Structure 1
Amino acid sequence: MNQLAVNNQSLILAFILVLVAVTISYKEKLGLSRDIFYSILRAVVQLFIVGYLLKYLFQVNNFWLTTCMSFFIVLNAAWNAHKRNPSPHKHYLDSLLAIFISTYLTMSVLIAAGAIKFIPSQIIPISGMIASNAMIAIGLCYRNLYTKFHDQRQQVLEKLALGAPVKLASLPILQESIKTAMQPTIDSAKTVGLVSLPGMMSGLIFAGVDPVHAIKYQIMVTFMLLSTTSLGAIIAGYKAYKNYFNHYLQLR
């Protein structure tokens, strides 16, 4: 079986590609150079820390440590989704509830079906995969809600003036926001295998797993991500739209 080897020289050559992005940002005055360097530095530090931590957790194989690490991933994903919400009246618990339910409901079904086992080498990576996709979908939902409530403020006010309840007045905005949040995952599912070769399937094949089994795992992941993003976007959307109204049911 062939093994992939990444040495320091390979990393340096790969870093040159990052400098290409920085150069483009500088010449086009995009203002992203600092963010690119910061994200790279943060990614390297985080990956080293998490890598050594996972090595320890995989060896210990403790139920409570695995649970705490999974919950930490959910807390962090919820915080990042919360920060992506441009609304001044946002609540962290909305993001936490959406990611918590969507992540652990999906994982519970997978564990009950025997698709995965409650061991750190499976639970922790799957938690990260699910929570990160939920985080992205919820962030898109939040941004679209904010934009639509700003652009369609007059329409919402007119509906409220005609006696429509808050939910009915907000329903087109809410539906469009949830659709926007789910669209990247849906598009990814449409093109999987044709445009993109999924990392999980490719990794399993590199590891020597039968391609048929790798494909089945990837199908499971596709189902899992569609479930998570839809649940997360719906829960977050239905919680967040209420924050645009005050206690008197008036648009803020």
Structure 2
Amino acid sequence: MNNAAPDIFSTLSPWTMVGVMGLLGSAWALSAWQRLGVGKELLWAAARATIQLGVMGFLLGWLFRQHQPFLLVLFLVIMILMAGRFNRKRGAGIPHAYWIGVISITVATVVTLAWMLMSGLVFWRGESFVPIGGMIIGNAMNAVSLALNRLRSEVGQREDMLLAMLALGANHRQAMRSLYSSVVRSSLIPTIDSLKSVGMIHIPGITAGMILAGMAPLTAVSMQLVVMVMLTASVTLSVSTAVLLAAPHALVFSQRIEE
């Protein structure tokens, strides 16, 4: 088992990457043939991911050699601030969507990393602190984007009911409370479904990567379980915080009553 990793990863070469990009080209061809309208976005996303991962590889190599906790925290802070930009796009129309995303992701990241540091599952080393923090931030960002998008949709669908509640004297937070549970539940569906199906329907990336690297399967799945539970908890924290912060500000149409 320990000899598997060199044999597998020795096959990676520039030509291998060209072949992988060919797979993306087939997806682009299908989009063009059926006029799905996602071909340009696929190519742009792939090009952007290639550049970003290349830069990330060099940056992490430098960061891991510094052994400075302050730099590790600063790196995660920058990632959170950048993640807020994606949340602002998905939450367009909701006031303060950027800062709602930043605060929600920060809460999830701080609470989750603090618990893992105290439990001894993560150490103040770049090799563990940054990758785990990055996973938390990335998953929290996606979940908050789903929550903000769903919140806008729910407000649009229930506009008459919410307007009636406001006309009867309810404030914004009281009117929006009826949407909290449905928005949170719908935003957590991908995360909860992944937790339910892990090991039965799909083999997650961490497990597959560790096995390919030559680690024993039982050790790999144990680490995967820790990560899945960690991500589920952090996503729940981020979504709940985002909904509590954003819901009162989502009633932008309430100004009609005052007019």
Please report the TM-score for the alignment, with normalisation by the length of structure 1: 0.93
Helix, strand or coil for the counterpart of 1:164? coil
Counterpart residue number, 1:124: 130
Counterpart residue number, 1:219: 225
Structure scoring higher RCO (CA < 8 A, sep ≥ 6) equals 2
How many equivalent pairs are there? Answer: 251
1:27-57 deviation line (CA, Å, top 9, x unaligned): 2222212111111111111111110111111
| Structure 1 residue corresponding to 2:70, chosen from 56, 64, 69 | 64
Q: Tell me the CA shift for residue 135 of structure 1.
A: 0.6
Read off the aligned partner of 1:7 and give its amino acid letter.
S
Partner Cα distance (1:23, 1:120) in 2:
40
1:193-252 deviation line (CA, Å, top 9, x unaligned): 112211112222222333222222111111111111110001001111111246x88779
Higher deviation after alignment, 62-71 or 110-119 = 62-71
Q: Tell me the CA shift for residue 120 of structure 1.
A: 0.3
Counterpart residue number, 1:20: 26
| Structure 1 residue corresponding to 2:188, chosen from 167, 182, 187 | 182
Structure 2 counterparts to residues 29-108 of structure 1, below 5 A: 29-108=35-114
Contact (CA 8 Å) 2:94, 2:249: kept in 1 or not?
A: no
Gaps of 5+ in 2: none
Partner Cα distance (2:109, 2:237) in 1:
9
Helix, strand or coil for the counterpart of 2:65? helix
Higher deviation after alignment, 162-171 or 214-223 = 162-171
1:47-75 deviation line (CA, Å, top 9, x unaligned): 11110111111222222221211222222
1:83-133 deviation line (CA, Å, top 9, x unaligned): 221325343211111000101110110010001111001111111111111
Higher deviation after alignment, 237-246 or 90-99 = 237-246
Counterpart residue number, 2:151: 145
Partner Cα distance (1:90, 1:73) in 2:
19
Counterpart residue number, 1:154: 160
Counterpart residue number, 1:192: 198
Contact (CA 8 Å) 1:166, 1:249: kept in 2 or not?
A: no
Partner Cα distance (2:214, 2:33) in 1:
44
Partner Cα distance (1:206, 1:94) in 2:
39
